[in-house]
Amino acid sequence: MNEPLAERLRPKNLEDYVSQTHLVGEQGALTPSIKQGLIPSMIFWGPPGTGKTTLANIVATESGRSFYTLSAINSGVKDVRDVIEKAKQSGGLFTTKNPILFIDEIHRFSKSQQDSLLQAVEKGWITLIGATTENPSFEVISALLSRCQVYILNAFDKNDLETLLKRAIEKDNIISKKNIKLKETNALIRLSGGDARKLLNIFELIVNSVEGDITITDKLVLEKVQNNTVRYDKTGEQHYDIISAFIKSIRGSDPNGAVYWLARMLEGGEDLKFIARRLLILASEDIGNANPTALVIANNTFQAVSTIGYPESRIILSQCATYLACSPKSNAAYTAINLAQQKVRETGDLSVPLEIRNAPTKLMKELGYGENYKYAHSYENNFAEQEFLPEEIKNTTFYNPGNNPREQSQKDFLKRRWKDKYDY
């Protein structure tokens, strides 16, 4: 029997399910629904190997539902309709426990395929659970998206991954028969990229390649993995490694590295819109206000790639990638929103200062809403110094413009306007 370790260790119930406590922990968003058996149609969005398929199976089991599954890679509209008809006949019309239809990689479904699901979801003939590694806002039609709850699954952290390794050593019928010492895990965890399936695949490869007692060290892991490289697989392990190399090449201002990794993805048949979306994100995250035109070009690239197919769109992607690689870089906007969100998590819902609150009613005006607000356009240079942050965090700096000509002009502007407040 050649069943992979990841499949052998697939949990069958919530007690054995690792990670995603924000969804299925004691206070998880899905926990009450599963316990009550009231399962909404939903989409699981997250990186590969984060337990989307496993969680869908567990939801069906825990709620006592029939479970049907389709893969968007090899299923058409007819397959969808056949499964829906089977679901209806199995009792979907006459019970509150509608059958669950699980669609893996739902982002690969065409508009017509997604349209074929609408009536069944709306009428309650099925409860749809879709799994995707792509942003549903881009890849799922709005009519279907509005009928589903979207739940985000996170990449596994170090503790989660070490838990899986220990479980394999202690409980797997094959691995547990070997004398294995888990001395170091850093290499395994780094190579997995938070993907539990990838972690277990690498671990099994290493265990099967060593005779006798085994001591897992970082050196052993790297030696064995380097000797067992695999071809690029757009749905498998190298998918995120290659896109990471691509993004890091552009971030590092190396157009040669950028077009090489772009070529690797193109030759491997990668989804063109997946590449274009990553360029769009990078244009804001890594270039930002150092060159705002980068975002315009990346957005136009995404639109063009969505309209023009392969092979012509490879030229557009190459132009965008090399332009972004040669652009000045700044992560100031990215850092600013990270700092601001962290401050919000630390301080909670601080009150909006009265002077900058909206005052649409007489009562609000009497309570001081909007009082002493300085309307910028009524002052010289369209500026009047005032505090826009809550009292508890006033004078906090989130945005620190980068060291490049365009953002230097922003620094100079802020210094002139705010004097001592923005002393960069």
205: domain CATH number is 1.10.8.60
Q: Does residue 231 lie in a domain region?
A: no
CATH number at residue 36: 3.40.50.300
What pLDDT is stored for residue 235 in this prediction?
A: 53
- For position 20, what pLDDT does the model report? 93
How far, in Å, CA of 39 to CA of 318, rounded?
A: 45
What local confidence, expressed as pLDDT, does residue 83 receive? 85
Distance CA 235, CA 398 (A): 38
Residue carrying the six token digits 């691995």:
175
Tell me, what's the pLDDT at 419? 76
> At 395, is the secondary structure helix, strand, or coil?
coil
What is the structure's pLDDT at 34? 87
Contact 370, 358 (CB under 8 A): yes
CA–CA distances in Å: residue 181 to residues 5, 178, 296, 359: 18, 10, 53, 67
- Containing structural domain, residue 314: 238-325
Amino acid at 168: A
On the question of a cis peptide bond just before residue 4, with omega within 30 degrees of 0, the verdict is no
Which pLDDT does position 275 carry in this prediction? 94
Same domain, 292 and 382: no
Local structure of residue 399 (DSSP, 8 states): -
Q: List the pLDDT tens digit at each of the 424 positions of the chain.
A: 578 899 999 998 888 898 899 999 888 999 888 888 889 999 999 888 899 999 999 999 988 888 998 887 777 788 888 888 887 776 544 455 789 999 998 988 888 889 889 999 988 889 999 999 888 887 888 899 999 999 999 988 899 999 999 999 999 989 998 999 999 999 898 888 788 988 999 999 999 888 889 999 999 998 888 655 445 555 555 677 788 899 999 999 999 999 999 998 888 888 899 999 999 999 999 999 999 999 999 999 999 998 888 889 999 999 999 999 999 999 999 999 999 999 998 998 888 888 888 877 777 777 778 888 888 999 898 988 888 899 999 888 899 999 899 999 988 888 888 877 766 6
pTM exceeds cut of 0.75:
no
Q: Based on the domain organization, do 88 and 207 belong to the same domain? A: no
Other C-beta atoms lying within 10 Å of the C-beta of residue 149: 14
In 10 A of CB 399, how many CB atoms? 16
Is residue 105 included in any domain, yes or no?
Answer: yes
Please report, as a single letter, which amino acid is at residue 274: F
Question: Which residue among 122, 152, 182 closes a domain?
Answer: 152
H/E stretch holding 223 reads helix 218-226
Q: What is the dihedral of CA 286, 145, 99, 26, to 10 degrees?
A: 50
Q: What's the token pair of residue 329? A: 């870089």
Cα distance between residue 114 and residue 142, in whole Å: 10
Listed in sequence order, the residues at least 6 apart from 330 whose beta carbon sits closer than 8 Å to its beta carbon are 286, 287, 288, 289, 290, 401, 402, 404, 407
Same domain assignment for residues 62 and 115: yes
pLDDT given at position 229: 47
Q: Considering all CA atoms of the chain, what is the largest pairwise distance in Å, rounded to the nearest integer? A: 82
Residues 97 and 120 in one domain: yes
- The encoded tokens of residue 370 equal 């909007």
CA proximity to 51, closest of 151, 185, 138, 191: 151
**Same domain, yes or no: 302 and 404:** no
Q: Which helix (H) or strand (E) holds 215?
A: strand 214-216
* Number of domains the chain is built from: 4
Q: Which of 112, 137, 140 is nearest to 128 (CA)?
A: 140
Helix (H, G, I), strand (E, B) or coil at 96: coil
Over the stretch 288-327, which tens digit does the pLDDT of each residue have? 999 999 999 999 999 999 888 888 999 999 999 999 999 9
Are 247 and 314 in a shared domain? yes
Reduced to 3 states, what is the DSSP secondary structure of residue 310? coil
How far apart are the C-alpha atoms of 90 and 169, rounded to whole Å? 41
Domain CATH number, residue 390: 1.10.3710
